[in-house]
Amino acid sequence: MGFVRRTGFARMAAAASLLLLGACVTSGEQATLVQKPKTPPVRTVSNFSEALRCMDTLMWNHGKRDIFITSNGIPDATGRVAGGTKEMLITAVSRMSERSNAFRFVDFEPTLDDVNALYWMIGVQPNFRAPSYYVRGAITQLDDNVVSEAASAGISLPTFDLGISADQVMSVISVDLNIGELATRQIIPGLSASNSLAIVSSGKGADAGAVIGKAGLSFNVSLNKSEGLHQAVRTLIELSTIEVLGKMTRTPYWQCLGIDQTNPAFAGQARDWFDGMAPSQRVAYVQRVLLAEGYYDGPDSGQLDERTRDAISRYQADNDLIATGRIDFDLYQRMLAQPSGQRGTDKGPGAPRLQSVSNAGGEGLPRAAPAPAGAAPDLVLSSDRGPQPRYRAGETLVVRVQPTANGFVYCYYQDAAGSVARIFPNRFQPDSFLQANQQVEVPPGSQKPFNLRMDRPGASETIACIVSPDEIGTRIADRFKTEDLQPIPGATLADVVGAYGSIQGTSVRSRQMAVQVLPAVSAQR
């Protein structure tokens, strides 16, 4: 008996051990899958998705590239639309830059305090690129029930009732966008968009009732259609972004909106662009287009020479224009309608292309293709009066500098007294890095933050600019590292240029431009 008892106890102990082990193994809950999502996520496709892709191609064809912009967001001034408008703007900019890389959005809030922080970031983060422009705007209008219509009808019989109704409510929402220069905080005239959209909510209903014997049967049928408010905001932001960035880069954005080239409003826009260009700019633009089209093989010098006239005549003859050899609006409009490089060229990423210029005046004129990768950068140095400028005493100088390849640029000004000061980069243009063929003006903008004024009649003053593929400004001798726009004590222009030229391990090139100061015009005859 005792043996049997021990065996029973052992079995009980073994069973208990198995239960405990099972409890350890099965501890914890297992989630039960009830139902999987039936609706897959879908990519947002708006009314202007095709237009944004068209803008991307248009920017590529016109050679627009690497224009750095930012935005502080598109707030709702009405206080009634809570939407991610800044993200909508970024998405629109991204979609029109997927292939062309026309725009680079810098996630930087351009408030006054942040502009001060911008200068600090440029010095601390060498890869940081300061935006040249910022987009500002707002949802400026939301009017509910601008139009409200309703209609109904009914009929009643002893054994049957029928009623129908329809209503429609229309609201209007508006978005305004503008472009400004980040360095000067100046809103650029003409680079604006103001668009409105009507939002329609409509409904239809039918009510019927009938009597079948002693049992009553009733039913209701209704159909409602409502266009979403936030989708309307996205549509407006995409449309306005196409408009303002098209104006900024001077590309025929209306082509992507399905508007004919001969539309009076947009023909007038192109006319304003043409009239606003200096004669040399018109010639240089035409030369670059002719070069891309294969009609011309010379430089974009801005000089209307015989070779350029001959190329213009052949282009005009091939494009149903009168072959005059002259540059007129008809020629310019045709070149806008037929983007550069379209004739028999491959528009793939490996094809030759033009490079855009986005100067402080908001112009986006195509430039010659950049130098081959690895080539040492050189400089094209000029002024608002050409490469050999002449000014009278009291007039102001605008320097134009353009590297042939990506590089770091430094410019100095020597006045008639021999004082030398650094004029670029400066507190208003803090980034010394310039893209290939990116032209900048010093001082920047239409409202100049400082002036280079000619003071001494009959004197000669000099501009010198230095370019290198490396950041050489940090490697120059400390005695030349003075504050911008302030005289460098005891230094001549030759000293500064020689100091840069003595830097080892990199390529350094310099260009100089003499500025002749004529006597001031006398007020008396």
CA–CA dist 293, 338 (Å, integer): 10
What percent of the chain is predicted at pLDDT more than 90? 14
Q: CA dist 334 to 303, 328, 331, 339, 346, Å? A: 21, 10, 5, 9, 20
Q: CA dist 500 to 405, 408, 467, 481, 505, Å? A: 18, 12, 9, 12, 12
Using DSSP bridges, classify how beta strands 407-414 and 433-434 pair: parallel, antiparallel or unpaired: antiparallel
The pLDDT, as a whole number, for residue 461 is 92
CA–CA dist 358, 191 (Å, integer): 13
User: Is the CB of residue 236 less than 8 Å from the CB of residue 88?
Assistant: no
- In the numeric block, the tokens 């049997």 are attached to 4
The pLDDT, as a whole number, for residue 345 is 37
CA angle 183, 188, 190 (to 5 degrees): 165
The pLDDT, as a whole number, for residue 487 is 92
Neighbours of 409 (CB within 10 A): 23
**Exposed/middle/buried for residue 458 (C-beta within 10 Å: 0-12, 13-18, 19+):** exposed
User: Is the CB of residue 130 less than 8 Å from the CB of residue 440?
Assistant: no
Q: pLDDT per residue over 31-59, tens digit each?
A: 454 455 555 554 444 567 788 888 888 88
Q: Which fold has domain 49-259?
A: Rossmann fold (3.40.50)
Region 370-525: CATH code: 2.60.40.1930
The pLDDT, as a whole number, for residue 369 is 38
Which positions of the chain have pLDDT values less than 50? 1-28, 31, 33-34, 42-45, 112, 208-226, 340-374, 522-525
User: Is the CB of residue 117 less than 8 Å from the CB of residue 55?
Assistant: no
Domain chopping of the chain, boundaries: 49-259, 260-355+362-367, 370-525
Residue 308, phi then psi, degrees to nearest 5: -70, -40
